[in-house]
Amino acid sequence: MTPADNLARDTIRTATDQTLFVNAGAGSGKTQALVDRVTTLVLEDGVRLAEVAAVTFTEKAGAELRDRLRGRFEPIGQDAGEPTHARAQQALDDLDTAAIGTLHSFAQRILASYPIEAGLPPVIEVLDEVGSSVAFADRWSTLQRVLLDDDEVAEPLLLALALGVKLDHIRSLVRALGNDWDLIQERIIDQPPTVLEVPELDGLLADAHAVVALSGHCTDDEDRLLAHLETLREELALLAATDDVRVRLGGLRRISQISFTQGKKKSWGVDVAEVRARGAGVRDLAGEVVAVVVDRCLRILVRWAGQQVLAAAEERRREGRLEFHDLLVLTRELLRQQPAVRDAMHQQYQRLLLDEFQDTDPIQIELAVRIAAGAAAEQDNWQDVAVPEGRLFFVGDAKQSIYRFRRADIATYLQAERRLGRRLTLYTNFRTVAPVLQWVNGVFVSLIEGGEGQPSYEPLAPHRWDAVEGPAVTVLGVEAHEDKPNADEIRRREAADVAAAVQRALRDGWQVWDARLGAEGGWRAAEHRDIAVLVPARTSLPFLEDALDGAGIPFRAEASSLVYQSEEIRELFAAARAVADSTDELSLVMALRSPLFGCGDDDLWHWRHAGGRIRIWSRLQDEHPLADGPVGSALSYLRGLARRARWLQPSEVLAALVADRRMMEVAAARPRGRDVWRRVRFVVDQARAWQEVSSGGLRAYLAWAAFQAQEATRVAEAVLPETDSDAVHAMTIHAAKGLEFPIVVVSGLSSQSMTPRGVRLLWRDGGYQVRFGSQVQTDDFAEAAPVDEQMDGLEKRRLLYVAATRARDHLVVSLHRRPGQTTAASLLADAGAAGFGAHHFSGAAQPEDGPASPPRVEPPPDWDEWLAGVQAARDESATVHTVSASGLEGTEPEVELGATEAPDGMAKGPRDLELPPWSKGRYGSAVGRAVHGVLQSVDLATGAGLEAAVEAQVLAEGVLGQADLVRDLVRSALGSELVQRAAAREHWQESYVGTVQDDGRVLEGYVDLIFREDDGTLVVVDYKTDAVPPGGIDSRVTYYAPQMRAYRSCLEAATGTAVRTVLLFLHPQTAVAVDVEEAGR
């Protein structure tokens, strides 16, 4: 069946000479469209894949695009009869190094090519999220001291502190500015500096005293308005008694909060309305004065923070330790300021394809435009740059723009759509069945209406007209809750309905399409793993978890979560804090009462009653019965760990607690044990990542981890596929972006929009607005905030669209809500979500297997048999199944060579795990590795590529100052008679050899050079860069002989051919070849 939008698809594939802007609706096959266009560029237009840059939103999307292209080119590249065979083969050669990946990886590629022009050192390091977090914590610890010592901001800081600002607010401000530091110079630093001046108060004080004087006209001492005037009198007295600006500002703030709305008319000898009005006028005037001072204080602090953030960014540039946002900003600066770089990028990347354009940083469009236009793109504003036709290709869907909190700007998308390229639309949906699309179109045509900050809705056309068994669309909570339950009760009712709907889908056998069935796919009954429950935020997840648990429905919480606030992680950290700080009794009690130690309140009471203290160093006499009791044993363990912790890394302390206290085993008996395992593994891995970028100890790590919990950090867990787990998926809608599921349940839509708490920084109208609290904000924040909140509201509608379009076969939507509240559920209900063919459902979930029956208790296995099995497993896991040939030379500690031990510092086996990819299997010094790297890549006969290879290898190994030595050693090898003889014959560089030994272990290694002699004998050549004097060569030959015999054994077993081994000792002036077999005779 031909898609309705096939003409647009043909245009995308064939019109490669045109700049196209493609709006690709949900499920419309945009990745396929990208593959089709790249295929045409490469096979028909002759553009090399190395000259194409495809920017994707995630690494996963980049990997998928790369795999699709490989699948497209491989059949053509293998068929020599195809006229495009050579181009396809070249594309396959280019594929692994092609610029296909995220915007950040593309920016890093550009900076790595032009570090000097970008003001960077030759080698740059990109910090991951953990590294950036640690670096920020270090910066803030320094900035905090600088702030408190800076006389220039002392006065505004003290005033701000008096108004309720805390240092944590400043910390949050610095972090927010760091996320957008490219805007600081133009919108903060280049603006006129603010001078702190307190407005003249004479007029205010005169009016206030006049109002207080009116209290003499009151005849009732109990009148409430009179009490307010007395409060005003007291504040005025305090103002008159001090010249301290902070005290006076506090008084004015209290005056601004006085209410003048009460007072009885009969109790006053003057018009009480006039008293109220004059009092309100004083109050409002005091509020205006406070607002002016607050605004000036905040702007001075923001300017100071902005300067510090820019200084930190410049320091990162000088050191070459960049964060993700640095990559984009520095690349933009490079392209703005360097015409030669723009021209080089223009020549290198003939075509740029931008995927998921609606969700990427606005900097992306400027990078693309300046590269596409080349040296001519010198205009200050990217919108004024003329882009050659066909250079750019955009694909995205404004209706799915949901990453505003990551700087995604839908206005930029709509602007680029109007200015760049020919607009096309892909609206045929290949994912979802027709009845679900009918509902989606009917609801969202009124929810997503075109206007400022919102695209027009374009209906999706179905491609799947399958008849679905089971309701295609089901709506829960059709009628609003007239009894007006509180938020938690609504979530509880909603969760019960969701659990019941999941049970109904499984019990009634709702059919889902499975492409793996048969040759063409087929329908089958739904399983737990086919169902995904999507929520906009995690607020409703605890209620959902309880409902699913109560119904006996297995589920798995996926994607990002508040890992550091989960129960098991808090218990683990409590134990770690007790180890790190022996005076932390609260953490110790929490740890003792946790499942890690299992001490009850009675155990703690008995311990205290016996004279023990809640300290890890507390103990009773050995003969006391409680000395080995629950508390005594726990404290004894913690004491031992505290002693060892002095020499352990934080991750090792956590790993010891996890292993020794059997956290993984205990979790197996808990509900959702797999989730516990995943979180524990994640935190230990995060600790390892932390210690790689920090030199602190256990206390420093725990302080960093505490910030992760305090800031409610949502961390992305490394969720590995668990094919043996048949469980319902539960995740946020953001985490589900780019995914699809047979059955989708959209829940958690009953929450009202809440004003964000904490520090809010807005960038509007060429400037900025900031708020620290309800009464601490710049004077223009109240005006800008509604516009920002409106944009948030529009994005929430798009978020609902993303959720609904994840469904393939069935969609379930919750409309649980209270009447009169503005929630996502009410928006859907008002848009007619209960109609358009939707099935209405409501029902309480029941345990899947009926009433619970006592579990059957299996008898324990025979002890000796069980222990023998455990020991056998341990022995098998401890067996070394492979032997490295290079290890046989005496440098592998796992291999014993009689009485000869590895010299100190020469053990390198385990380090191979930590080596960068280019060093795997290559041992010795950095210079030696560089020499080997060059020799395995250059032409042995001519030395072609020598200079480039030397430059690359010394850079990779960090030995830039040894380039001449590396070059001389390589030339001595190339000039040797042995290598020249190899070059003139059939030869192989850097070859893997391996064989199975009699004991079942694999003997393996990498041979530097193999060539075939005229008589058919194979010659193994191993380069050695040891600085060996002539008289010491014999001893080194003896040392390396086991390694060479291993190579010979592997090669003879593999080829059945006679093998001779030769060691080639390299020196800057010459090379010495030694036949190992002859030397051993």
Question: What are residue 536's phi and psi, to 5 degrees?
Answer: -70, -30
Question: What are residue 999's phi and psi, to 5 degrees?
Answer: -85, 5
DSSP string, 491-526: HHHHHHHHHHHHHHHHHTT-EEEETTSTTT-EEEE-
Neighbours of 69 (CB within 10 A): 23
Give every CB contact of residue 243 below 8 A, 6+ residues apart in sequence: none
Q: Which residues are annotated as a binding site for ATP?
A: 24-31
C-alpha dist (Å) from residue 418 to 21, 413, 709 = 9, 9, 44
Q: What does the alpha-carbon distance between residue 933 and residue 919 come to, in Å, rounded to a whole number?
A: 8
Residue 672 corresponds to which tokens in the numbers above? 């959702």
Q: Find, among 305, 446, 275, the residue nearest to 835 by Cα.
A: 446
Q: What does the alpha-carbon distance between residue 122 and residue 956 come to, in Å, rounded to a whole number?
A: 11
Neighbours of 50 (CB within 10 A): 17
Q: What does the alpha-carbon distance between residue 54 and residue 94 come to, in Å, rounded to a whole number?
A: 13
DSSP string, 324-393: HHHHHHHHHHHHHH-HHHHHHHHHH-SEEEE-SGGGS-THHHHHHHHHHHGGG---SSGGGPPPPTTSEE
Q: What does the alpha-carbon distance between residue 1015 and residue 1012 come to, in Å, rounded to a whole number?
A: 8
Q: What does the alpha-carbon distance between residue 616 and residue 618 come to, in Å, rounded to a whole number?
A: 5
Residue 607 corresponds to which tokens in the numbers above? 């311990």
Residue 486 corresponds to which tokens in the numbers above? 């509180």
Q: Which amino acid is at 547?
A: A
Q: What does the alpha-carbon distance between residue 488 and residue 751 come to, in Å, rounded to a whole number?
A: 10
Q: What does the alpha-carbon distance between residue 567 and residue 483 come to, in Å, rounded to a whole number?
A: 34
Q: What does the alpha-carbon distance between residue 15 and residue 40 come to, in Å, rounded to a whole number?
A: 9
Q: What does the alpha-carbon distance between residue 382 and residue 343 come to, in Å, rounded to a whole number?
A: 16
Q: Which residues are annotated as a binding site?
A: 24-31
C-alpha dist (Å) from residue 114 to 177, 844, 961 = 27, 63, 20
760-762 and 769-773 beta bridge pairing: antiparallel
C-alpha dist (Å) from residue 942 to 87, 971, 983, 1065 = 28, 11, 9, 21
Q: Find, among 477, 467, 458, the residue nearest to 834 by Cα.
A: 477
Burial class (CB in 10 A: 0-12, 13-18, 19+), 655: middle
Q: What does the alpha-carbon distance between residue 21 and residue 11 come to, in Å, rounded to a whole number?
A: 11
Q: How far apart are the first and last CA of the chain?
A: 78
Question: If you count them, how many residues does the chain have?
Answer: 1081
Q: What does the alpha-carbon distance between residue 1055 and residue 1020 come to, in Å, rounded to a whole number?
A: 13
Question: What are residue 180's phi and psi, to 5 degrees?
Answer: -130, 40
